[in-house]
Chains A and B, each alone.
Chain A
Amino acid sequence: MSKLIHITLMKVRLTLKDRGAFIWMFLAPIIFAGVMILVFGNGDKSNADAKYPISIVDEDKGNNAAILLELLNQDKTFELINTDAQKARQDVQNGKTVLGLVIPEGFSKSIDDGNAKKLEVLKLQDNDSTVAMMAIVQNYLYQLKLGITAGNEAEAQLASRKLIKTEEGKKIKEKVQAAFLKNMESSKIGYQSKKLTRENLGLNALSSTAIGVFVMFIMFFVSGGAGNILEEKETGTWNRLLSTPTGTFSILGGYVLGTFMIGWIQTAVLILVSRYVFHVNWGSSPLGLILLFSSFLFAVIGLGTALAALVKSRGQLSALTTIIVMPTSLIAGCMWPRDFMPNTVQKIADYVPQSWVLKGMTDLVARGSDINAVYFPSAVLMLFTIVFFLVGSMFLRQKSRA
């Protein structure tokens, strides 16, 4: 046992001594945390009060288009940017605006005629924001129709009672529509989002995408570390160690623990820097975080070791790790919500460790749950660890037989 601890400490000391590795170990997580916070700014935009910019091209310039724009303008979700068709297209392409909305020529007249012309939507791609936003725009089209109906019907009612002259009709219509817009602006009917629990801690929420990218990078950081055994094999020091009376278990255990500690230093730097420098919310259960990330790190090291046992050189290992880490992270939902994917893919994703750490993180960070929420994900991750090490030792045995 003491030998195991010695090897562990030796490995950590060696890494800390190597100036390049040392800088890499601390600087990379810090830079990474900084970039993450900058990129994701104030957390998930969909939840925050931030406005979505939308390009508006009004080719109609008619009365009804104006009403629609006024309705959209009243919505706190949007920031309307009036522009021309070409600029709108450019802004959508460059990602400056989420959507472009083209109100075609003759739109106002077509609504009055009862056969509304379709709005043209410019968008770069379909995602949850654009889908949600199109539903909202659609709803305003309904509201517009209701307002128009009110104006028309008011005119018709008054005319049928002979209370107005024909030429007054237009005025009545406009009056009703103006009143309608005013009513909509000051409407007391609506909804409000409320928080279930927890007071606002004044911390930045970490969006689910940010958590996912975090997990992916930790995986890249740590799985590389497991390849150190290969380096020792290449230089022959591994065999020398084996020739000593120290048991294989102690040596391997020492290596795993050493990599684990180095992995934890990086993870801790990442978490602490983002928490105390950038005020990112990491939930209210430090113990839960420690348990969850420890299990995750073990699983990643297990994977790294299994892969290291499979390949011959460090170069092969780094190629294989990227090929495995990236797609599995995507499947697990590190970059987008899992619900985007077909059911089959979602089921496959359960067999990928990242899914479970994401699940636990969502409970800890987004829901603010306590340690109870992460017992199950952690147990699953430990199961992954066991499987990876078993597979790894199987590869090693096969190799030594060959």
Chain B
Amino acid sequence: MKLLSIAWKDFMVYVTDRRSIALIVLMPIILILVLGVCLSTVFSNGGMSIDNFEVAVVDKDKDQFATQFIDFLKSEDIKKLVTVIQIPEDEARDRVSRGKIPAMIVLPEGYSKAIHEDREAKIELYLDPGDAFRGKIVEGLVKSYSGVLAAVHGANDAADTVFKDYGLNGNLITPAVMKTISEIDGTGLAENTVQKKQSLSAMQYYSAGILVMYILFVGMLGTISVIEEREQKTLLRLMSTTVSRGVILSGKLLGLYFLGVFDVMVLIIFTKFAFGVDWGSSIPGLVVLSGAMIFAACGLAMLIASLMKSARAVGAINPVIVMLLSMLGGSMIPLFVMPPVMQILSKITLNNWALNGYISLMFHSGFQSIITPALVLCAMGSVFLTVGIMRLKLN
């Protein structure tokens, strides 16, 4: 009973403190809102609406395939994306190096001739390293063109090899190949060959990432609360009553746990109804996974409380710890951009397990998919908690 009243008191202290509510409720909501607005273009239709931009083309070849390439860039679909400007090489070079335009494409002298004579024929691409985003688009266009061109020649030559035995020429199949290409042109680069299916929206990914991150911030509030009470000697006073150390600590932990549950509920319900975030169809899964993550975060909070001396230091250092953990755990940047060492390292962070759990729920993988993450989180939490409580000094 005493345990419950301590827990309830702690919970009420947190909830009525405007500062902590700002940190764990307002802040994530603002973040998710900003993310939602910022990334709305990314996941609204799978493609971004990028403003048309200029690309310099330097045509030193002035022959069949160079003209064809420029026509390709000026074709209906691609015209929407880029505007071709044909300016002298020096000027183009200068503009790219100053970041005025993202790319310069050079069709080298004798490019078409080299293709006819089956020699090395390479389009030269100069990208602005300061604009990787548009650079990638231009590279994609050049890659598409040279890929299809190579395929046409590859097809002709392949037919040639076989036709030789029959005294025929590979060019016989050219009309059919050209017909296939014209059909391709019709579909352009629209996303109709590769079907979109089974992906998370950016909003879903970041909602999960931020939820996990803010459960850790809830833990931080607990750390500060324990240390502040120690600094103000209220813990000592409590100890002088008949309540035992175990009950006091469990009470404080339980209060923190309530706060975590409160936070998770608010955030999940808010994101679900305000932004239509799909959290999957397994409510037991959500409950168990969140419960395990909150438990682990409480454990981590106690461990940190046992290591730190002043509440001020916790306030300064903890946000950085939480952010580093979130970064490692994949809350901010998808893991595949990190080297393999990091992917293994990220397994020691709580975030990674919880995030993976939420993501599999969002994929509607059902309850069994979160059993492992939940068990791992509980195990980590127990270790943190045991070490933390053993080391923690109340006075």
Query: Does A145 count as interface, using CB distance less than 8 angstroms?
Result: yes
Q: Of A252-260, A264-272, A327-335, which binds chain B?
A: A327-335
Q: B333 and A335: CB pair below 8 A?
A: yes
Contacts of B195 in A (CB 8 A): 118-121
Partner among B124, B140, B158, B193 whose Cβ is within 8 Å of the Cβ of A177: B158
When each residue 379-391 of chain B gets 1 if its CB lies under 8 Å from chain A and 0 otherwise, what string results? 0000000000000
A136-B140, A220-B320 known; A150 vs B99 contact (CB < 8 Å):
no
Q: A119 and B198: CB pair below 8 A?
A: no
Query: Does B1 count as interface, using CB distance less than 8 angstroms?
Result: no
When each residue 363-388 of chain A gets 1 if its CB lies under 8 Å from chain B and 0 otherwise, what string results? 10011010001000000000000000
A125-B43, A126-B199 known; A154 vs B173 contact (CB < 8 Å):
yes
Q: Of A292-300, A316-324, A389-397, which binds chain B?
A: A316-324
Q: A322 and B319: CB pair below 8 A?
A: yes
Q: A38 and B341: CB pair below 8 A?
A: yes
Contacts of A125 in B (CB 8 A): 43, 199-202, 204-205, 334
A124-B205, A331-B34 known; A38 vs B342 contact (CB < 8 Å):
yes
Residue in chain A with minimal CB distance to B202 = A125
When each residue 27-65 of chain B gets 1 if its CB lies under 8 Å from chain A and 0 otherwise, what string results? 100110011011111110011101100000000000000
Question: Closest approach, in angstroms, between the C-beta of B110 and any C-beta of chain A?
Answer: 13
- Give the docked Cα–Cα distance between A94 and B148 (Å): 34
- Give the docked Cα–Cα distance between A205 and B129 (Å): 10
Query: Does A249 count as interface, using CB distance less than 8 angstroms?
Result: no
Query: Does A20 count as interface, using CB distance less than 8 angstroms?
Result: yes
Residue in chain A with minimal CB distance to B50 = A339
CB neighbors of B among A179-216 (8 A): 179-180, 182-184, 187-197, 205, 207-209, 213
- Give the docked Cα–Cα distance between A140 and B140 (Å): 12
Residue in chain A with minimal CB distance to B315 = A318
Q: B30 and A143: CB pair below 8 A?
A: no
Q: B189 and A135: CB pair below 8 A?
A: yes
Query: Does A108 count as interface, using CB distance less than 8 angstroms?
Result: no
Q: B98 and A369: CB pair below 8 A?
A: yes
A124-B359, A192-B122, A330-B31 known; A146 vs B155 contact (CB < 8 Å):
yes
Contacts of B126 in A (CB 8 A): 193-196
Partner among B27, B131, B202, B315 whose Cβ is within 8 Å of the Cβ of A323: B27
Query: Does B150 count as interface, using CB distance less than 8 angstroms?
Result: yes
- Give the docked Cα–Cα distance between A154 and B170 (Å): 8
- Give the docked Cα–Cα distance between A395 and B207 (Å): 35
A135-B140, A153-B176 known; A191 vs B360 contact (CB < 8 Å):
no
When each residue 105-146 of chain B gets 1 if its CB lies under 8 Å from chain A and 0 otherwise, what string results? 000000000110011111111111111111011011011101
- Report the count of interface residues on A (CB-CB < 8 A): 119
- Give the docked Cα–Cα distance between A163 and B196 (Å): 44
Query: Does B266 count as interface, using CB distance less than 8 angstroms?
Result: no
Query: Does A41 count as interface, using CB distance less than 8 angstroms?
Result: yes
- Give the docked Cα–Cα distance between A136 and B148 (Å): 11
- Give the docked Cα–Cα distance between A342 and B48 (Å): 9
CB neighbors of A among B131-178 (8 A): 131-134, 136-137, 139-140, 142-144, 146-159, 161-163, 166, 168, 172-173, 176-177
Residue in chain A with minimal CB distance to B179 = A149
Contacts of A137 in B (CB 8 A): 194
Query: Does A277 count as interface, using CB distance less than 8 angstroms?
Result: no
Q: A150 and B23: CB pair below 8 A?
A: no
Contacts of A142 in B (CB 8 A): 147-148, 151, 184
Query: Does B191 count as interface, using CB distance less than 8 angstroms?
Result: yes
A44-B132, A98-B336, A142-B184 known; A188 vs B119 contact (CB < 8 Å):
yes
Q: A147 and B155: CB pair below 8 A?
A: yes
Question: Closest approach, in angstroms, between the C-beta of A22 and any C-beta of chain B?
Answer: 13
Partner among A20, A177, A183, A220 whose Cβ is within 8 Å of the Cβ of B157: A183
Q: B122 and A118: CB pair below 8 A?
A: no
Residue in chain A with minimal CB distance to B93 = A196
Contacts of A323 in B (CB 8 A): 22, 26-27, 30
Q: B166 and A127: CB pair below 8 A?
A: no
Q: A95 and B40: CB pair below 8 A?
A: no
Q: B22 and A341: CB pair below 8 A?
A: no
Q: A196 and B97: CB pair below 8 A?
A: yes
Q: B332 and A335: CB pair below 8 A?
A: yes
Q: B136 and A128: CB pair below 8 A?
A: yes
Residue in chain A with minimal CB distance to B327 = A39
Contacts of B177 in A (CB 8 A): 146, 149-150, 153
CB neighbors of B among A111-143 (8 A): 116, 118-129, 131-132, 134-143
Residue in chain A with minimal CB distance to B40 = A342
Interface centre among A132, A205, A314 (most CB of B within 10 A): A132
Q: B153 and A172: CB pair below 8 A?
A: no
A146-B181, A149-B176, A366-B129 known; A46 vs B136 contact (CB < 8 Å):
yes
Interface centre among B114, B130, B149 (most CB of A within 10 A): B130
Q: 21 A–B contact pairs at CB < 8 A?
A: A45-B337, A46-B132, A116-B193, A123-B199, A125-B201, A139-B147, A146-B154, A149-B179, A153-B173, A154-B173, A158-B166, A180-B151, A184-B154, A189-B146, A190-B122, A331-B38, A336-B38, A340-B41, A345-B37, A367-B99, A367-B128
8 closest A-B pairs by beta carbon, nearest first, are A95-B335, A150-B155, A183-B154, A179-B158, A153-B176, A366-B130, A143-B151, A41-B339
List 10 extra interface pairs beyond A163-B166, A179-B161, CB under 8 A: A20-B313, A31-B324, A116-B193, A119-B193, A147-B155, A189-B121, A192-B124, A209-B333, A316-B19, A341-B39
